[in-house]
């Protein structure tokens, strides 16, 4: 049965965290995707005025084979990153344990991850890999995703839970819709783009934690 781990590491112990130490006016969010080519997390969003400088750092990193821009919005850009297979540190731990990155974001000081491991043994291997290489992990929560509905938020973040609740209550998911995405965004006090992403990621997590897994719970 799969296991989800919510944990954090110091920014300096993670490749992207070290880059943020150099590019102060940039933030990074990892796009949650199902890897099909062996990549740990091939897509990352970079926001802020220094995002082009961040791309330069990616291209110069010995842990990166290739990095290209896929999309550009007003305040951020989406990059595809091909990581080196021999990458060590946290990247190596993620790859070696076949961890799926469900969510990740960080600052120069701290990175937060939500990881899915196919088996508990994979989680054990991940922790051992990090311990043997001096990578300190702070584990906040470990659990088997529940399909019973007893967990009111179904593994959603607070923002995702709020967005889905508002959208459902106002009729955004009805056919035909009774409100627009812009209406939902206004109620949440965020941009239309942010509301769209929050709903999409929330729906993805809701399906993953209700329809695709069995039920059980682990303590950290």
**Tokens 């929330």 identify what position?**
202
- Whether residue 29 is predicted with pLDDT greater than 80 in this model: the reply is yes
Question: Are 116 and 159 in the same domain?
Answer: no
- Whether residue 107 is predicted with pLDDT greater than 60 in this model: the reply is yes
Which CATH number is 218's domain given? 1.10.10
**Reading across the β-sheet that carries 43-47, which strands appear in turn?**
64-72, 76-83, 43-47, 27-30, 100-106, 110-117, 3-10, 138-143
CA angle 49, 156, 154 (to 5 degrees): 170
216 — pLDDT class (breaks 50, 70, 90) = very low
Report percent pLDDT > 70 for the chain.
84
Question: Are 7 and 71 in the same domain?
Answer: yes
97 — pLDDT class (breaks 50, 70, 90) = confident
Q: Running DSSP on this structure, what letter comes out for residue 118?
A: S
Kindly give, in sequence order, each residue whose CB lies less than 8 Å from that of residue 139, ignoring residues fewer than 6 positions away. Answer: 5, 6, 7, 220
Tokens of 63: 């842990």
24 — pLDDT class (breaks 50, 70, 90) = low
Q: Which of 81, 116, 143 is the last residue of a domain?
A: 143
Q: Are 104 and 114 in contact (CB under 8 A)?
A: yes
Question: Are 56 and 163 in the same domain?
Answer: no
Between 179 and 211, the higher pLDDT residue: 179
First to last CA, the chain: 16
Q: What's the pLDDT score for residue 212?
A: 57
- Whether residue 43 is predicted with pLDDT greater than 70 in this model: the reply is yes
Q: What's the pLDDT score for residue 199?
A: 92
Between 219 and 174, the higher pLDDT residue: 174
DSSP helix/strand/coil, 140:
strand
What is the pLDDT of the chain when averaged over all its residues? 80
Alpha-carbon dihedral angle through residues 88, 79, 113, 21, given to the nearest 10 degrees: 70
Tokens of 107: 């600052």
Please provide residue 164's backbone torsions phi and psi, each rounded to the nearest 5 degrees.
-65, -40
Structural domain range at position 191: 145-220
Q: Running DSSP on this structure, what letter comes out for residue 111?
A: E
As a residue count, the chain comes to 220
Q: What's the pLDDT score for residue 182?
A: 93
Question: Are 121 and 159 in the same domain?
Answer: no
Question: Are 76 and 167 in the same domain?
Answer: no
Q: What's the pLDDT score for residue 219?
A: 38
Which pTM value belongs to this model? Answer: 0.61
Question: Are 124 and 163 in the same domain?
Answer: no
Nearest CA to 130 out of 29, 14, 2, 4 is that of 14
- Whether residue 217 is predicted with pLDDT greater than 50 in this model: the reply is no
Q: Which of 109, 143, 177 is the last residue of a domain?
A: 143
Question: Are 159 and 133 in the same domain?
Answer: no
Q: Which of 143, 163, 190 is the last residue of a domain?
A: 143
Separation CA 37–CA 142 (nearest Å): 27
Separation CA 198–CA 15 (nearest Å): 26
Question: Are 108 and 28 in the same domain?
Answer: yes
Separation CA 132–CA 69 (nearest Å): 35
Question: Are 20 and 109 in the same domain?
Answer: yes
Question: Are 205 and 187 in the same domain?
Answer: yes
Q: Are 41 and 95 in contact (CB under 8 A)?
A: no
């Amino acid at each position: 049965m799969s296991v989800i781990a919510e944990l954090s590491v110091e920014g300096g112990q993670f490749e992207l965290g070290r880059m943020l130490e150099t590019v102060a006016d940039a933030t990074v969010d990892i796009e949650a995707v199902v890897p099909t080519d062996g990549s740990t997390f091939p897509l990352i969003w970079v926001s802020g005025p220094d995002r082009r400088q961040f791309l330069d750092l990616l291209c110069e990193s010995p842990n990166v084979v290739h990095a290209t821009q896929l999309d550009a919005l007003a305040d951020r850009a989406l990059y595809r990153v091909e990581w080196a297979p021999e990458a060590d540190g946290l990247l190596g731990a993620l790859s070696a344990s076949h961890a799926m990155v469900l969510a990740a974001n960080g600052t120069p000081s701290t990175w937060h991850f939500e990881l899915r491991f196919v088996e508990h043994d994979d989680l054990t291997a991940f922790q051992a890999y990090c311990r043997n290489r001096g990578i300190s992990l702070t584990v906040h929560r470990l659990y088997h995703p529940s399909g019973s509905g007893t967990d009111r938020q179904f593994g959603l973040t607070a923002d995702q839970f709020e967005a889905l609740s508002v959208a459902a209550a106002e009729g955004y998911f009805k056919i035909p819709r009774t409100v627009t995405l812009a209406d939902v965004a206004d109620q949440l006090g965020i941009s239309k783009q942010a509301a769209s992403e929050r709903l999409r990621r929330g729906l993805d997590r809701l399906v993953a934690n209700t329809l695709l897994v069995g039920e059980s719970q682990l303590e950290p």
